[in-house]
Structure formats: C-alpha cells, structure tokens
Amino acid sequence: MTDYGLTARVHQICRFAISLVTLVWVGIGLAGPESLVAQDWPFPRGDVQSSGSVATELPDSLTVVWEFKADEAIEVTPVVSGDRVVVGDVMGTLYALSRSDGKQVWRHDFDTGFLASPIIAGDKVIAGDIDGSVYALALDDGKQLWKQSTDGEISGSATVFGNQVLVASQDGKLYCYDLETGKPVWTYQADDQIRCSPTIAGEMTLLGGCDAKLHGVDLKTGQAAGDQWPIDGPTGSTPAVRDAFAIVPIMDGVVFGFDWKQKKMLWRYEDFDQGQEYRSSAAINDKVAIVSSQRKNIDALDLKTGKRLWRYTLRRRADASPVIAGDDVWVPASDGRLVRLSVDDGSEKWVYEIRGSFVSGVAIAGNQLFVADDEGVVRCFQ
C-alpha cells in the first residue's frame, strides 16, 4: 500500500470521521433525503429509507467530466462517499474509483458476479453476490475484512441500522450481521424469496416478498412487527419510505400506498386501461411517488391519494428505478437514453444518449450525477 504521508493520512481520518457520523445519523433513521444534498450517495436508493430522492438541483446543462471502462457489463447503481465511487460488474469485480477523475483506486476480483449494488457504510464497502455471499471490504484499499454466506442469490443491496448490516436473500431470509465483525445477530424467515433491499422505517425494516406480503421486522429482535400486510402479488421492488408513507409496487401492476406507522393501507393505484408490470422501485418526495413500468410508462402518483398526476412514455422500457432530484426526475432507459423530466408535469427537459443500454439507476451526489451502462462504462456528469 502506497504511503501518501502524514497529510494524506489526516485527510483519510477526517473522511472516515465524517462518514461515520453520517452513518450513525442514517442508521438511527434521522437522516432523510435532504441530508444527502451535501455530497454522498452511499446507498443505491440514496438513503436507508430507499426514497430515491434528494433536494439537490443539478445544473441545467450537464457534461461528461470523466468515464471509466470496467471489464464487463455493469447492472448496478454506483455508490459514492467522499472521494470514492464504488461499482461492481456482472462477472464479479468490484471497482473503487477516484471521484475527482474516475481513475481506478483499487479492484477486487471475486468468482461470481454482482446484480445488487454495493453500499458504503462508513469505512467499509458491503456487497452481496449471485452465489449468496456477503463481503465487507475496506473502502480505502479494498482489503477483505469479513465474509458471510446465505443460501440464495442476493438480488437486493444491503442496508445498515446503527452498527448492524441487513441483507435479504432469495432463500427467503433476512440476515442481520454485526458491521464490524460480520458475526450473525439474528435471522428472519419469510414464506418465499426476497429479491428487494431492506428499507428502514423507524425501528422496523420493511421488505416486499415473493409471498405477496409486505413484511415489517423489528430491528432489535428480528421478529415480525405485528401482522404482515397483504399486497395481492409478488414483488421484487424495494419499499420506498418518506415520513409515514411507504410505497410498494408489485409485478402484477398495482402500486400500494401504506401508512407504516399506523400499519394500514392508504390507497392502491392500478391502470385498468393498460395493465402495467412493475419491477423497479418508486422514488418519492413529500408530494409525489414516481414509478416506472415495463410498459415504458413513467407515472407520477399523488403521495396522499394515489391519483395519477401525469404520465411520460419512453421509447423502450426502463429497468432502472427513477430518481427525484429537486424539480427533476431522472430515468435511465434500456434504449440508451438518460432522460430528465419535470417532476411537476412530466415534460421532457434534457436527454443524453449512448449506444449501449442503461440497466441501473443514477447516483446524485453534490452537483454530480453518476451512471453506469451495460457496456461497463461509468460516467460522471457535472
């Protein structure tokens, strides 16, 4: 490992301290989307509430300031903390890039690929692979710190609560590990596969399952937090939380709005004229929920009533989940277009196009936007 001297070490310590403070605030559920206006995007949906929303207003005109080419296709959202951008490819390599210029800082090669985004938890990178293994690596140099195993593919990213790491697996279990050591703390068993990421809602985590239930799990005990809520069909979408609202789309074309504090359903949205299919997660601010369907439609739903406010139709579907940033909605589509829409009326404001395809979502940190494509290119816009 290169010795950058005393000054570099001081900067590393300061970055770690800042990240740790951020992690503690996020872990106890006090850091909402506005707190991410600062600089980081450590989780694929921005925060542990999986809101997919920040108050950041990006410049009207963005340009590519750097590109990085990975060895293989990338189907996960980049995550950002301090001067690090971390991303994994489909064949099992994790890359840490310099945020300032996109140059590779380190890489760690594994035997299997990543279909779930890594997360950055303080000074650690946590990633789960398609074989069900969970890895903790040092953010600075990529050294492996610990490893755990589940019995199914990991399709959703991990999340953190205090000093604990939560990982859901297609074996139908939610695993809780100690962040520092990887030691198992508790395990929760659902009735079928879990393909989403755990979402923090107060002292609970919410999980949408293939068993057609929205699960609420007590974070301290790992036990069910009361009765599970029926959602009429399987889902692989990560629940999005904002205040007391929890938004859950399902594969059968319904979007549910819940009050997770009162544990009751508030509304359900379904397009009876043109059946939809939802495989991505919602983005929510304090007024709207934005959902993307396999029928190429981007819909804005009133957060309180579920009424559709506007619709924008893409040329091809978007597999990536949308992101709200200030007055904008960002949608990377499978036709290679990165589309910027008005959150107010869905009008098209800006488009950037590539030859490949966007499969994963965007990360928005500070005044920068990061996105990867299926040809393995990571781009930073500013």
Q: What pLDDT does residue 39 have?
A: 87
pLDDT at 38: 57
Environment class of 122 (CB within 10 Å of its CB; exposed 0-12, middle 13-18, buried 19+): buried
What pLDDT score was predicted for residue 28?
34
One-character DSSP codes across 14-42: HHHHHHHHHHHHHHTT---GGGGGSS-B-
Q: What is the pLDDT of residue 99?
A: 98
pLDDT number for residue 123: 98
Compute the residue count for the chain.
Answer: 382
The Cα–Cα gap between 362 and 191 comes to 32
- CA-derived radius of gyration, the chain: 19
Instruction: For 66-109, give the DSSP string.
Output: EEEE-SS---S--EEETTEEEEE-TTSEEEEEETTT--EEEEEE
Say if residues 208 and 214 touch (Cβ distance below 8 Å).
Answer: yes
Q: Read off φ and ψ for residue 6, nearest 5 degrees.
A: -60, -40
- Which CATH number does 5-381 carry? 2.130.10.10
Pairing relationship of beta strands 308-313 and 323-325 according to DSSP bridges: unpaired
DSSP 47: S
Other CB atoms within a 10 A radius of the CB of residue 169 amount to: 24
Residue 177 vs residues 21, 247, 378: alpha-carbon distances, Å: 20, 26, 30
pTM here is 0.90
Residue stretches of the chain with pLDDT short of 70: 1-38
pLDDT at 37: 54
Tokens standing for 36? Answer: 């991410």
Percent of the chain that is helix, strand, coil (3-state, to 5) = 5, 40, 50
Per-residue CA distances from 46 to 32, 120, 350, 354 (Å):
9, 11, 22, 24
